[in-house]
Amino acid sequence: MDKSLYACDSCQHKLCAGRVSLFTSLDTDQLLQVIKLIVHKEYKKGELLLFEGEVRNDLVIVNKGQVKAFRNTIDGREQILYIFSEGDFFGEKNLLRDQPSNYAVEALEETHVCIIHKNDFQKLVKEYPDIGLKVMEVLCQRLDRLENAVETMGTRTVGARVSSVLLEFADKFGKQSPQGIIIDLPLSREGIANYIGLTRETVSRKMSSMQDQGLIEMIGNKKVLLLNRTALEKSIE
């Protein structure tokens, strides 16, 4: 994939908005109209796109890069709720009423976003009801993911938690290769731990033992090769 195609420079002229599932129902002219409403912004790794509790009145669409949405918990941990990648959006609650955000959002790498004001977006939804349906669809997907997460977090065995996050990342970030699925991990060990409510040491230990069992193979710290997907799925039980 040539990332440069998605750079914000080309956005302004090509139809970057068309790549976002929200707007797939629109034709070229309509997309051009949408693009006029969009403000672009770029963030470096580690920069905050949104503070926990901040009140905003726009919708943010990730156009390039990755961000994490997280909360600082009362017991001093960081609970990661979502990883948003290209095409994902956040701030949808702002469309309904002005509410403080439940989570902070931080760039995991160089990230470019498209920002659209609540009023403009609401007009779009009224004009093109399909966009509203798309939003609803994404919200339902997000519910699915959180329902799974609640189940995972309630699971008492560490193995099941780590397996489920690897399988989730395999679906979202994995690439098929001759040996198996290669996963580009969006998070560090500590990040993974904060995603599933464990400590980094426990995640580290479990991944090592999975490697010993021949289920996965670690390639540096940022990649994992999933050798035997079905065995990993079974190991959850």
Give contact residues for DNA (rule: CB under 7 A): 156-158, 188-190, 197-205, 207-208, 218, 220-221
Nearer to DNA, 3 or 222 (CB): 222
Q: Which does 105 bind (CB under 5 to 8 A by kind): DNA, a second copy, none?
A: none
1's contact among a second copy, DNA, none, with CB below 5 to 8 A by partner kind, is none
State the number of binding residues for a second copy (CB under 8 A): 40
Among 6, 23, 89, 103, binds a second copy (CB under 8 A): 103
Q: Which is nearer to DNA, 101 or 111 (CB)?
A: 111
Q: Which does 127 bind (CB under 5 to 8 A by kind): a second copy, DNA, none?
A: none
Sign of CA dihedral 94, 96, 98, 103: negative
Smallest gap, in angstroms, from Cβ of residue 99 to DNA?
31
Rounded CA gap, 105 and 215, in Å? 32
Would you count residue 142 as binding a second copy (CB under 8 A)?
Answer: yes
Binds a second copy by CB under 8 A, chosen from 45, 140, 177, 209: 140
The reply on whether position 1 binds a second copy by CB under 8 A is: no
**Can you tell me the distance from the alpha carbon of 148 to that of 222, in angstroms, rounded to the nearest whole number?**
24
State yes or no: residue 50 binds a second copy (CB under 8 A).
no
The reply to whether 55 sits near a second copy by the rule CB under 8 A is no
Closest CA to 45 of 64, 59, 61: 64
Dihedral sign from CA coordinates of 108, 111, 117, 121 = negative
* Dihedral of alpha carbons 48, 101, 20, 13, sign: negative
Q: Which of 179, 199, 174 is nearest to 189 (CA)?
A: 199
Q: Kindly give the residue spans of alpha helices, DSSP state H, lying in the chain.
A: 8-11, 28-37, 118-127, 129-154, 158-173, 189-196, 200-212, 229-235
